[in-house]
Amino acid sequence: MKRSVTSLLFAAGVAAVIFAGTMSISLPVGAAEKSGGASAAARDSAKSDGALFVEFVSVLRHPRCMNCHSHGDFPRQGDDGHPHTMNVRRGPEGHGVTAEKCTTCHQDHNLAGAHMPPGAPNWGLPPPNMPMIWEGLSDGQICQSIKDPKQNKNRNLDQLVEHLTEDKLVMWGWNPGKGRTPVPMAHDEFSAKVKQWQVAGAPCPAESGKKAETGTIP
């Protein structure tokens, strides 16, 4: 009896500390005691819940994609994502400003040689009214954002998956031109993972409990 009271008090103390630390919902002490099955179930649902998205999010987070999907009114360059040189701006449609359109320098294919403009059909940034910014978002938020018709140019899931796996601008990430690191996963593997996620109903990682892995500020 004494023993179980002590452990109950201890459990309550732990719960209080956790509560104070995170300001989240208090921990049900009873549940914590028979946690074996419950936490295994939680693990499984966490897996079906977003792990499939996390499997390929490293591609979306790569500088080859982020250089066009980041904050600011300009594209970025290089693996460090520095602002585009020559004061290149997004412009009203994402294709630059009148005096400096993207297509002045970027064509529909990479120009040969280091530091030459890379290229793909429709080279440009998303427009300012739908900028498709993923920088600073958690995995769950990126997932929600690319699925949201109000943020993804009204795409349904099939169209989103098609864009992710076939669009020429996206494909460029696997063939970015001399001197640039391609995205970190073979294209076949990426497509297979995206399709697995689609078949599972495109679940997004939960927001609570897990912080964004990049540590960037939203």
The one among 170, 194, 204, 212 contacting ligand HEC by CB under 6 A: 170
Site for ligand HEC in 38-57 (CB under 6 A): none
The site map against ligand HEC for 102-131 (x = CB under 6 A) is x-xxx--------x-xx----xxxx-----
- Contact (CB, 8 A) for 146 and 156: no
The one among 50, 70, 96, 131 contacting ligand HEC by CB under 6 A: 96
The site map against ligand HEC for 130-159 (x = CB under 6 A) is --x------------xx----xxx------
Question: With binding defined as CB under 6 A, does residue 18 bind ligand HEC?
Answer: no
- Side-chain half-sphere exposure of 123, counting CA atoms within 13 A: 20
**What b/e string do you get for 164-200 counting C-beta neighbours within 10 Å, with b at 16 or more?**
bbeeeebebbeebbeebebbebebeebbebbeebbee
Residue number, 18 or 152, with CB nearest to ligand HEC? 152
The label of the residue with tokens 């040969």 reads 112
Question: With binding defined as CB under 6 A, does residue 86 bind ligand HEC?
Answer: yes
The site map against ligand HEC for 198-217 (x = CB under 6 A) is --------------------
- Contact (CB, 8 A) for 11 and 35: no
Q: Determine the Cα angle at 96 with ends 93 and 100, to 5°.
A: 150
Question: With binding defined as CB under 6 A, does residue 161 bind ligand HEC?
Answer: no
Question: With binding defined as CB under 6 A, does residue 70 bind ligand HEC?
Answer: no
**What b/e string do you get for 48-80 counting C-beta neighbours within 10 Å, with b at 16 or more?**
ebbbbbbbbbebbbbbbbbbbbbeeebbbbeee
d(CA 158, CA 122): 21
Q: How many residues bind ligand HEC (CB under 6 A)?
A: 45
Which residues contact ligand HEC by CB under 6 A?
Answer: 59-60, 63-65, 67-69, 75, 77-78, 84, 86, 88, 90-91, 94-96, 100, 102, 104-106, 115, 117-118, 123-126, 132, 145-146, 151-153, 163-164, 169-170, 172-173, 180, 183
